[in-house]
Amino acid sequence: MKPTLLMVPRMPEALVARLRESYVVLGPMEHSTPAALPAGAAEAEALLTMGSLSTDAALIDALPKLRLICCYGTGIEGVDRARAKARGIALGNAGEANAASVAEFAMGLVLATARRIPQADRFVRAGRWKGNSVERMPAVPGLAGRRLGIYGLGAIGSRIARRAEAFEMEIGYHNRSRRADMPYRYHDSLLGLADWADILVVSARASAENRHAVDAAVLEALGPRGHLVNVSRGIAVDEEALCAALEAGGIAGAGLDVYENEPQVSDRLKALDNIVLTPHIAAASDSAQAAQQEVLLGNLRAFFAGEPLPSPVPL
């Protein structure tokens, strides 16, 4: 008999077709709560979900045969890891599968906000460019020689750093600890990093510990010529403090791919001209999606073969 999988979010059709070759696939679910469980869910041995969705103790305990939780992507913040550990449930994610895609997108947001590319596009579309006319877009600092601060120098952050080197930027970072294998300037606090940086990129793993890590004090340290880019999770940035800083000129600009209450984006953010907003698409490249799917399939194959997960998450 094929093992039963429960799929919480809707996943790519091609991936689902491959899953159905080896498994009984239930779902997707309307929402990630016990009340939304489909018929037959009690037989599910593996749960397929995303880190941004809640996989709490109630959902875990509603699945008596559950032995594996697989997150599509790298995020795991929605999983009650303590409850999974207590139940002896393994946890896997996509590891570094989407790191290159997210890193290149982060640099795109750095360019977009620091070089005011969306504003330039609107300037041209509005017919305001008159060649050598008096009205023209103001000059802005380039990237060469500027300081890029990276909060979270993991798989994504380290790739952002290497890409920023090609732009001749000076690179610093804040991590839980110094990385001896990296040549960049280490800062022992996020506040210190923000004070040093011209552009602050958030690429830290989302967790309860770093909720609103980028707060009013960090934004004040970044300063009126500074820019913020977030490709981590929305909870890492205090959006109210960010709006206040952007409205008052406390920082120069920002680029966000993630938000506190996705898919809702506050009207206050959308009203700002000095921010670039994208719909959580940093990992939405063909290569990243293909890699994530292969890791997920590999985790499932290994688990049901009694082998170690290729991409496990310690509990």
Catalytic residues: 233, 262, 280
Q: Between the CA of residue 2 and those of 23, 24, 30, 281, 304, what are the distances in Å?
A: 5, 6, 24, 34, 10
Measuring CA to CA, how many Å separate 129 from each of 110, 117, 142?
Answer: 24, 14, 21
Tell me how far CA of residue 9 lies from CA of 51, 131, 210, 288, in angstroms: 11, 50, 25, 18
| Rg over CA atoms, the chain | 21
- Written as one string, the DSSP assignment of 58-84 is HHHHT-TT--EEEESSS--TTB-HHHH
Candidates 55, 18, 24; CA nearest to 39 is: 24
